[in-house]
Amino acid sequence: MNETTEGRGHLSFAEIMSEPSVWASTLKDLEEHGRYAEVLRPLQPADEWVFVGCGSSYYVAQAAAWSWTAVTGQRAKAVPASELLLYPDQVLGKTKCQPVLISRSGHTTEMLMAADYLEKERNIRTLGISCATGKELEKLATATLLLPAADERSTVMTRSFSTMLLSMQALAGFAAGRNDFLQALKQMPGQAQRALERLQPRIEKFASANEFADYVFMGQGPFFGIASEGQLKVAEMSCSYAQVFHTLEFRHGPKSIVSPKTLLTFFLAESTGTSEQEVLEEMKELGGVTLVITNRANDKVRQAAGLLIELELDVPEVARLAPHVLAVQLLGLYLGLKRGFDPDQPRHLSRVVVLKGKAV
Ligand code: F1P
C-alpha cells in the first residue's frame, strides 16, 4: 500500500481506486448533458452492431457487444480493428451494420484506418467512444461519446476500460428505453465502492504472498471479455504468462497445465447455474490454486475457492459486469510490484500503438 502511494504503480493504484466515483460522475454527466440522444441521432437503423477495438478496448468491445444484445435485443458482435481491416467483407457482411469504434486515446492507427475506411469507402456512419478529446477518431467518426474523466496517466487501461464499458451499457439502456436498467447502473457505483474497499487489502495480501508460473482467467458470456482483460492486465503489469479461456473449454485440453503453480481465476456468473462451478471444483481437485470472483457464492464455491471475492451488489447481472474487473486490475498491479516492475509503465509498451508510414 505504501509503495503504491508514491513510487512504482502509484498512478495505476490511484486510477483503480477512483473507478466507482468516475463511473458515478460520468453517468451523471452523460445523462445531464443529453449525450446519449446526441450521439444516436445521426446514426442510421442497423441490423447488427459491431463493436471494434484494439487491446483492452477490444475486450471492452466483447463485453459491450454482449451487453448490447442483452439490453436492446439487437444482434451485436465484437472484432479487433485488425480483423475489420484485413477481412472487411466477412466482418461487415451484407446486412446494415452500426460500427462502434472504441479507443481510449482516439489515436491508435488501426482504429483510425478502420474509421476512415468505414466512413469514406463504405459510406457507413460510425460511432466513436474515447477518453481523449480533440483526437483524430473524433474528427473521423460521425458521432463520438467522450469520457475525459476516465482517461489515465498510466500506460495501462484500468478505469477507461470499465467506464467505456459502462457508458455503452448506459447507451444501450437509453436506446432501448430501459429505464429500469439505467437506474440499476446508477445505483451500482455506490455499492461497488464498498466492494472495492473490502477486496483491495485482500488482493494485496494474496498477491504479495504468492507467485505462480501460469495465470489462467475463465469466464463465459458477458464475463469472457472481463476474463480477457484480467489476462491482459496480469500480462502487461507483471510481465507474467497469462491465458484466457471460456470456463467449460478449459476441460478440453488446457487443464493439462494445472498444478500448484497455476493460479486459476474464475468469473462465476449466477445465470449459468452450476456448470462453471463444476469446472472450479474439478480444477481444485487437480491441485490448482483458485481465485473466484463472483457476486455471491454458495457453500460449494466457498469450499473450492482458494481466495473468494464476493461483490455483493444488488443490481442485475449485466449492470454489475464492470466492477468484476477491479480485483484483477489490482492483482496485476500487486504482482507487478512484487516482481520488481513498474505497473504504470510496462516493459515494451506505449500508451498508443502508432504504426509508422500508415497515417490516414
Ligand atoms: C489500446 C491499447 C491498450 C494497450 C497498449 C496500447 O489503445 O492497445 O489496450 O494497453 O498500451 O493501446 P486505444 O485505442 O484504446 O487507445
DSSP string, 78-89: EEEHHHHHHSHH
**Burial class of 191 by CB neighbour count within 10 A (0 to 12, 13 to 18, 19+):** middle
Would you tell me how many other CB atoms lie within 10 Å of the CB of residue 123?
7
Domain over 187-338 is classified CATH 3.40.50.410? no
Determine which residue's CA is closest to atom 4 belonging to ligand 1: 55
Separation of alpha carbons 324 and 195, rounded Å: 10
Q: Which atom of ligand 1 is nearest to the CA of 111?
A: 14
One fold for both 21-177 and 187-338? yes
Q: What residue spans define the domains of the chain? A: 21-177, 187-338
Q: How far is CA 147 from CA 10, 44, 331, in A?
A: 22, 23, 25
Q: What is the pLDDT of residue 272?
A: 85
Least confident of 76-85, 156-165, 336-345: 336-345
Does the beta carbon of 233 sit less than 6 angstroms from any atom of ligand 1? no
Dist. CA 346–CA 247, nearest whole Å: 28
Nearest CA to ligand 1 atom 2: 55
Q: Evaluate whether 47 touches 96 at the Cβ level (below 8 Å).
A: yes
Nearest atom (ligand 1) to Cα of 351: 11
CA-nearest residue for atom 11, ligand 1, is: 351
Give tens-digit pLDDT for 248-280. 999 999 999 999 999 999 999 988 889 999 999
pLDDT of 66 above 90: yes
Q: Residue 262 has which C-alpha cell?
A: 497455476
Residue 292: per-residue pLDDT:
98
pLDDT band at residue 359 using 50, 70 and 90 as cut-offs: low
Q: Evaluate: CB of 349 within 6 angstroms of ligand 1.
A: yes
Look at 121-135, 286-300, 334-348 and tell me which has the smallest mean pLDDT: 334-348
Confidence at 24, pLDDT banded by 50, 70, 90: very high
| Residue 44 and residue 125 in contact, taking contact as beta carbons nearer than 8 Å | yes
How are strands ordered across the β-sheet holding 214-219? 242-246, 214-219, 262-268, 289-294, 307-310
352 Cβ below 6 A of ligand 1: yes
Q: Give the pLDDT score at 350.
A: 84
Euclidean distance between CA atoms 358 and 360, whole angstroms: 6
* Nearest Cα residue to atom 8 of ligand 1: 55
Q: What is the pLDDT of residue 211?
A: 85
User: Which residue is associated with the grid cell 491508435?
Assistant: 108
CA of 350 to the centre of ligand 1 (A): 8
| pLDDT tens string 31-50 | 999 999 999 999 999 999 99
Distance 138 CA to ligand 1 centre (A): 17
- Residue whose Cα lies nearest atom 10 of ligand 1: it is 156
Q: What is residue 1's predicted lDDT score, i.e. its pLDDT? A: 47
The DSSP H or E segment spanning 93 is none
Mean pLDDT across the stretch 147-170?
96
CATH of domain 21-177: 3.40.50.10490
Q: Report residue 342 as a C-alpha cell.
A: 513498474
The DSSP letter of residue 274 is: T
